[in-house]
Amino acid sequence: MNALAKLDAHLESRLKDLSKAKERGQKIIGYSAGGFLPEELILACGAIPLCFIQAGDNTVLRNSGAYICRWFDPFWRSQAGYLTSGKDPYYSIVDLIVVPITDNHVRAFSNTVGFYTPGIKSFVFGVPHVKDKVALEYYLKGIVRLKKMLEDFTGVEITESRLKQSIELCNRERELFRKISRMRKRRNVSVSGRDFVALNHGSFLADKETMVDILEQFIKEVSDDSPVFGDAPRILYTGSTLARGDSKVMDIVSDNGGIIVMEEFAEGIRPYWDSVKVGGDLLAGLAETYFMDRICPGWFRPGTERLDFLIRLAREYNASGLIWYQLLYRESYKVESYFFSGILKKQTGLPMLVLESDYDAVETEPMKTRIETFMETIRG
Amino acid sequence: MGNYYDELFSLCGFEHEEIEKERSRIEASFEKLGIGPDDMETADSRVRRHHDVSLEGVRKLLGAWLKELIDLVLAREEGKKIVYFGFPAILGPGLMLRASSEEVFVSAPDMVLNHTMGQIFNKLDPLLEAGEANGLPPGHALCSLWQAKIGGIAKGMIPVPDLALASSYYCDMGSKADDLVTALYGVPIAYIDGIMDSKWGEYPEYLPERVHYLGARINQAFEKAEKVLGIEIASDAWERSRKNSQPFRDNLAKLTEVMKADPVPVSLVELELLEALSGSSTGSGIQEGIKAMDILIHELEKRVEAGVGVTEKGAPRVMVRLGHTSDPRVTRLFEEAGLAVPLTYILASRGGVKVKSGENYGTAGEIIAEYEMEGGYYHGTEGQIRLYERAAELMKLDGFIAQYLYNCRPVATISHIQKKYLEEKTGLPVLSLEIDNFDSRAYSAASMRTKVETFALMLKAKKGR
C-alpha cells in the first residue's frame, strides 16, 4: 500500500479509533483552524488533537444561517454549521473545543461556540495582529493559560520531558513536510499539489506517529519516482483558507495541465517552515515558532511580511503565475488583493488571478473559464 | 455682502458674524467639495425636512458638523498635521494628540463626510463610488465608511493624512484599509492593536493582560505620533483631553435623563447627529457640539415640562443601535411608524449606563484601555449585548430594534445572538434588522417600512393601544 492509500485507510478508521481511545479515557481536543494552537501541548497531556478543517459543502452554510448572518467567510460559517448540525462527526466526538481568536470571522465562530453550545466545554485565547515583543508576550500568556487548562481538564501534568517529546514529534512532522515541499522547487516536479495538500490536511486528523510514518514512506516513494510534471505551468496558490473538501481550484488547475508547486494559506495548511527549539523555556519556544517565526496571515497589520514571502516563494519555486483564492467577505484578503497584483507584477513579472468563493457549485464553470484563460496566458 | 450659502449656514446655526468671518474658508472648502449654488435648494430642503430646525440646539449641531467639515477639507492648506482615525474608535488617543498641539487636526473624516455631504447635501454617492473604484469594490460587504474615506481622498476633497490611527482593536477592515491608504499614498500607520478574545460569559470581567496589551499599543501610537508629527505629547494631555471632552459626556448623561420622558422630546435623527459627533471629532466639532447640546438640553427640558414630544405619549419605546449617518430618511422611519426612540447604543454607552471603576493603571494608554474595556463595546460581543439588556430597565423600554451592520464584521457578529439573548433575558420583543448604516444606495423604504410598521403594530397591541 502506498503512503497516500495508507493515509486514506487510516482516516477511514479514524473515528472508530478515536471512539475506542475515548472509551479508554483519552481526551479528544478539537481546535479551530489557523495554525496558532501548538498541538504539542495537547499531545503532552496524553490527549488527541483534532483540527476542524472541513468545508466546501454549501448545504452546511445553509445550516449555519440559523446562527450567524451570511456576511462572514464561508469557511467560518461552515464551522458554525458543522458545530450546530452534527454533520461533521469530528465535532461530535471532541471533549473540548479550543479557539485561538485571530480576526472577527473567527470571533464570530467563537461566539457561536460559547452562546449556542454551552454544553460543549470550550476555551479561547487571542492572537495579536501585529508582531513584536509585546504581542509575543500576549500570545505566550494565552498558551500558558491553555497549558494550565489542559492539565486541569485531562488531569495530566505537562512535564518538561513530555512536552519536549511531543515537540520533537511535531518537529519531525514539520521537517518531513518541509522536505516534501522543497522537492517542488525542482524544475521537474514529482509531487503534485493535490497530494501535498492531502497529506497536510490528513495531518490535522491523523494520529501523529502514524502520520510521521506515512510522510517518511511518501518521501521514499517520490524519491524513487521519475518526474511527472515536466513542462506544466507552475502555480503559486495562496489565500486565507484551503479547507479539506474545497479542492475546486486545484482540480481545475490540474485538469488544465498545470501544477500547484506551493500553497500559502493561513488556515487549512499546517505551518511547517519552522521547528520549535527543544532547549530552554519550551513554552517560550512554542510561542516563538507558532507566533513570531510563522509567516503572518493576511489579517496581520501590516501584511507586508506575507506579501514579501509570496514574492520569495514565487522566485524560489520558479512559479509561472499566482492564483489568489479568497473566500467571500474575508475583507483582509480582498483589500490586499487590490494592491498586491501590482507589487507582484513589478517585482517578478508574474500574472495574478484573483478567485473568490462562497462554496457554491455555480462558481465552478466561471472559475474554469477564468483558470483556463489564465493558464493559456501563462503558456503564451 | 451675502452669498448663495448664507441662508443655509444661518439655518445651520451660524451667526451672521460667523459667516462673515468664515466666508473665505467656506468658499475654499466648497470649491474642493464641488458644492455650488445649485446644491443649496437640495441642502435647504433636506435640512428642513429631516431635522427639527425649530430647535436652536439642532441647528447649532448641524453647524458643528459644517465647521468640522471645513476644518477637515482645509487642514492641509492651513498647515495642520493631519491624523485620521476610524469609526467607531477609542477616542482617547485622538483627543490626547489634539490636546498636545494646536497644530494637529484629528478626525474621523468618513463620519464628517457622511453627516455633511450625505445628510445635508445629498452628495455622498460619488464619494462612495470613488471608494469602490479605488480598492474597495461593491459586492463584497466592505465598509461603506471606508469607501467614503478613500473616495474623499481619491477625489481630492479631503487631504491625505500624515498619520493614520488604525482601530486594530476592533475592526479588521479598518486596519487593512489603512494598509491600502499606505499602499496608495504612503501614509504611516500607528496600529492600535487589541484582541477581543473574551469568552462568552466572561463580561464584565476581563483579563488584565488585555488592558496591558491595548494600553501598550496606545502608548506606542503616541510614540509614533510624536515621531511622525514632530510633536510632544504633553504630560497633562490626558487630563486636558478629558477636560475638553468631559462636558460632552456630561451632556450625553443629562440627555439620557431627559430622554426618559414620555413622550420623548426629540427625534432619533437629532440624537444621531450629536452622539456621532462625540465619536468623530476632537476639535471644533466637539467643542461646538458641547455648546449646541447646552442649548438643546435646555430646549428639551422645556418640551418635557410642556409634555411635548416627537411621538404620542405612551408610544412604544424602543432602543435602536444608531441612526443612519448619511441619510436621515432611514432614521425617520422608526418614528413615522409610531415608535419612540429614547436611547441608542452610543448614548447608552457614553452617557447613560455607568461602568464600574476599576483598578488604577500607570500609563495613559492603560487608563484609556481600562475605561474602554469596562464600557463593554471593545470587550466583545457579550459586552455589547449586555448594554442593551441594562438599558431596558433604565429607559423603560418596550422592545429593541437590534440593527446589525452587514458590512461591519464586528457588529455583524451579534446578528442572531442579540435577538435570542435579549428576548430570553428581558422578555421584550426584538426586531433584528440587517442594514448598511452609512450608505443608503441600496435602501428600500418599502421593505424596511413593512418590517418596522409590523413590529410597531405588535408593540402597540401589546401595550393595549
C-alpha cell at B35: 458644492
Domains A17-161 and A187-379 share a fold: yes
Mean predicted lDDT score pLDDT of chain B: 94
Average pLDDT over residues A352-362: 97
CB–CB of B344/B275 below 8 Å? yes
Q: For A69, which of B189, B381, B406 is closest by C-beta distance?
A: B406
E-strand stretches of B67-127: 81-85, 104-107
Q: What is the band of A224 on the pLDDT scale with cuts at 50, 70, 90?
A: low
Contact A129 B135 (CB under 8 A): no
Contact B381 A107 (CB under 8 A): yes
Contact B176 A125 (CB under 8 A): no
Contact A301 B142 (CB under 8 A): no
Nearest chain B residue (CA) to A70: B406
Distance from CA of B277 to the nearest CA of A (A): 26
Q: For chain A, what is the largest distance between any 2 Cα atoms, rounded to a whole number of angstroms?
A: 62
Contact B217 A134 (CB under 8 A): yes
Nearest chain B residue (CA) to A123: B199
With contacts defined as CB-CB under 8 Å, which chain B residues touch A336?
176, 179
- What distance in Å separates the CA atoms of residue A155 and residue A157, rounded to the nearest whole number? 7
CB–CB of A51/A38 below 8 Å? no
Average pLDDT over residues A125-135: 97
The pLDDT assigned to A1 comes to 85
Nearest chain A residue (CA) to B405: A71
The pLDDT assigned to B22 comes to 97
With contacts defined as CB-CB under 8 Å, which chain B residues touch A67?
416
Nearest chain B residue (CA) to A101: B197
Average pLDDT over residues A277-290: 97
Residue B83 has pLDDT above 90, yes or no: yes
Residue A276: C-alpha distances to residues A38, A128, A148, A174, A273 (Å): 10, 20, 20, 10, 10
Q: What is the band of A227 on the pLDDT scale with cuts at 50, 70, 90?
A: low
Residue A238: C-alpha distances to residues A234, A259, A357 (Å): 13, 14, 13
C-alpha cell at A81: 454549521
Give CATH for domain A17-161: 3.40.50.11890
Higher-confidence residue of B411 and A187: namely: B411
- What distance in Å separates the CA atoms of residue A132 and residue A136, rounded to the nearest whole number? 6
Q: What is the band of B353 on the pLDDT scale with cuts at 50, 70, 90?
A: very low
Nearest chain B residue (CA) to A67: B416
Percentage of chain B surpassing pLDDT 70? 97
Residue B352 has pLDDT above 70, yes or no: no
Contact A335 B409 (CB under 8 A): no
With contacts defined as CB-CB under 8 Å, which chain A residues touch B197?
101, 107, 110, 124-127, 142
Amino acid at the residue A121? K
Whether the bond between B263 and the residue before it is cis, its omega within 30 degrees of 0, is yes
Residue B420 has pLDDT above 70, yes or no: yes
Contact A108 B409 (CB under 8 A): yes
With contacts defined as CB-CB under 8 Å, which chain A residues touch B133?
none
With contacts defined as CB-CB under 8 Å, which chain B residues touch A122?
199
Nearest chain B residue (CA) to A65: B416
CB–CB of B116/B328 below 8 Å? no
Contact A134 B404 (CB under 8 A): no
The pLDDT assigned to B1 comes to 62
Q: For B412, which of A71, A124, A332 is closest by C-beta distance?
A: A71
Nearest chain B residue (CA) to A103: B172
Average pLDDT over residues A291-299: 97
Contact A141 B209 (CB under 8 A): yes
Contact A301 B168 (CB under 8 A): yes
Average pLDDT over residues A309-323: 97
With contacts defined as CB-CB under 8 Å, which chain A residues touch B201?
114
- Return the SS3 of A118: coil
C-alpha cell at B82: 493631519
Distance from CA of B218 to the nearest CA of A (A): 12
Mutation target vs A (from B149, B191, B193, B386; most A CBs, 10 A cutoff): B193
The pLDDT assigned to A225 comes to 61
The pLDDT assigned to B249 comes to 87
DSSP assigned state of B363: S
Average pLDDT over residues B168-177: 94
Average pLDDT over residues A61-73: 95
C-alpha cell at B197: 478574545
Residue B198 has pLDDT above 80, yes or no: yes
CB–CB of B72/B117 below 8 Å? no
- pLDDT one-digit tens code per residue, A83-118: 999 889 999 999 999 999 999 999 999 999 999 999
- What distance in Å separates the CA atoms of residue B223 and residue B190, rounded to the nearest whole number? 9
The pLDDT assigned to B355 comes to 46
Instruction: From the options 2.60.120.640, 3.40.50.11900, 3.40.640.10, 2.130.10.10, give the CATH code of A187-379.
Output: 3.40.50.11900
Residue B272 has pLDDT above 90, yes or no: yes
Distance from CA of A290 to the nearest CA of B (A): 17
Average pLDDT over residues A324-328: 97
- What distance in Å separates the CA atoms of residue B134 and residue B184, rounded to the nearest whole number? 9
Mutation target vs B (from A36, A71, A134; most B CBs, 10 A cutoff): A71
Average pLDDT over residues B198-223: 95
Higher-confidence residue of A227 and A278: namely: A278
Residue B359 has pLDDT above 70, yes or no: no
- What distance in Å separates the CA atoms of residue B344 and residue B355, rounded to the nearest whole number? 17
Residue B376: C-alpha distances to residues A96, B159, B369 (Å): 27, 33, 11
> Which residue bears the cell 449654488?
B37
Percentage of chain A surpassing pLDDT 90? 94
Mutation target vs B (from A37, A138, A296, A340; most B CBs, 10 A cutoff): A138
With contacts defined as CB-CB under 8 Å, which chain B residues touch A98?
none
Distance from CA of A302 to the nearest CA of B (A): 6
Average pLDDT over residues B175-202: 95
By CB atoms closer than 10 A (0-12, 13-18, 19+), residue B231 is: middle
- What distance in Å separates the CA atoms of residue A197 and residue A246, rounded to the nearest whole number? 11
Mutation target vs B (from A36, A83, A146, A301; most B CBs, 10 A cutoff): A301
Q: Which residues pair with A260 in a beta bridge?
A: A235
Nearest alpha-carbon partner for B66 in B299, B267, B289:
B289
Q: For B168, which of A66, A129, A298 is closest by C-beta distance?
A: A129
Nearest chain B residue (CA) to A116: B417
Q: Which residues pair with B85 in a beta bridge?
A: B165
With contacts defined as CB-CB under 8 Å, which chain A residues touch B196?
101, 104, 107, 126
Average pLDDT over residues B86-93: 91
Mutation target vs A (from B147, B169, B203, B409; most A CBs, 10 A cutoff): B409
- What distance in Å separates the CA atoms of residue B141 and residue A329, rounded to the nearest whole number? 6
DSSP assigned state of A363: G
Higher-confidence residue of B350 and A165: namely: A165
The domain ranges of chain A are 17-161, 187-379
- What distance in Å separates the CA atoms of residue A69 and residue B141, rounded to the nearest whole number? 12
The pLDDT assigned to A269 comes to 98
With contacts defined as CB-CB under 8 Å, which chain B residues touch A338?
135-137, 180
- What distance in Å separates the CA atoms of residue A371 and residue B397, rounded to the nearest whole number? 55
With contacts defined as CB-CB under 8 Å, which chain B residues touch A335?
135-136, 142, 173, 176-177, 179-180
Higher-confidence residue of B14 and B393: namely: B14
Percent helix / strand / coil, chain A, rounded to 5 = 55, 15, 30
Contact B175 A301 (CB under 8 A): yes
With contacts defined as CB-CB under 8 Å, which chain B residues touch A130?
168, 191, 193, 217
Nearest alpha-carbon partner for B409 in A321, A70, A96:
A70
